[in-house]
Structure 1
Amino acid sequence: MRLPAPTLEHLCDVAVTIATPMEVGATPAGFRRLIPITGGTVTGAALNGRVLPGGADFQLIVGDGTQAQLDARYVLELDDGSRVFVQNTALRVASAEDSARIRAGVAVDPSRVYFRCQPRFEPTSPNWAWLAAHQFIGTGLRQPDAVHLSFYKVC
Structure 2
Amino acid sequence: MIQPGLEFVYEAGGALGEAIPIGDTYDGTRRIIPIFSGPVEGPRIKGRLLGQGADWQVTRPDGVTLADATYALETDDGVVIQIRNRGLRHGRPDVMQRLARGEDVDPADYYFRTVPEFVAPTGKYDWLNRSIFICAGARYALSIKLWVWRVT
* Length-normalised TM-score, structure 2: 0.96
Equivalence for 2:133: 136
Equivalence for 1:20: 18
CA distance in 2 between counterparts of 1:4 and 1:86 reads: 28
Q: Which runs of 5+ in 1 are unaligned?
A: none
CA distance in 2 between counterparts of 1:141 and 1:63 reads: 22
Contact 1:18 1:145 in 2 (8 A): yes
Contact 1:83 1:125 in 2 (8 A): no
Name the SS of the counterpart of 2:14 in structure 1: strand
CA distance in 1 between counterparts of 2:96 and 2:60 reads: 11
CA distance in 2 between counterparts of 1:51 and 1:59 reads: 19
Equivalent position amino acid for 1:50 in 2:
R
Equivalent position amino acid for 1:59 in 2:
Q
Q: How does 1:2-151 map to 2 (within 5 A)?
A: 3-64=1-62, 66-151=63-148
Q: After TM superposition, give the deviation of residue 125 of structure 1 in Å.
A: 4.2
Q: Which runs of 5+ in 2 are unaligned?
A: none
* Length-normalised TM-score, structure 1: 0.94
Name the SS of the counterpart of 1:69 in structure 2: strand
Count of residue correspondences: 152
Q: Which runs of 4+ in 1 moved over 2 A?
A: none
CA distance in 2 between counterparts of 1:17 and 1:122 reads: 22
Identify the range of structure 1 (132-141 vs 108-117) with the bigger mean alpha-carbon deviation. 108-117
Name the SS of the counterpart of 2:125 in structure 1: helix
CA distance in 2 between counterparts of 1:5 and 1:107 reads: 35
Please list the CA deviations of residues 111-130 of structure 1 after superposition, one character each: whole Å capped at 9, or x if unmatched.
21011110010012421111
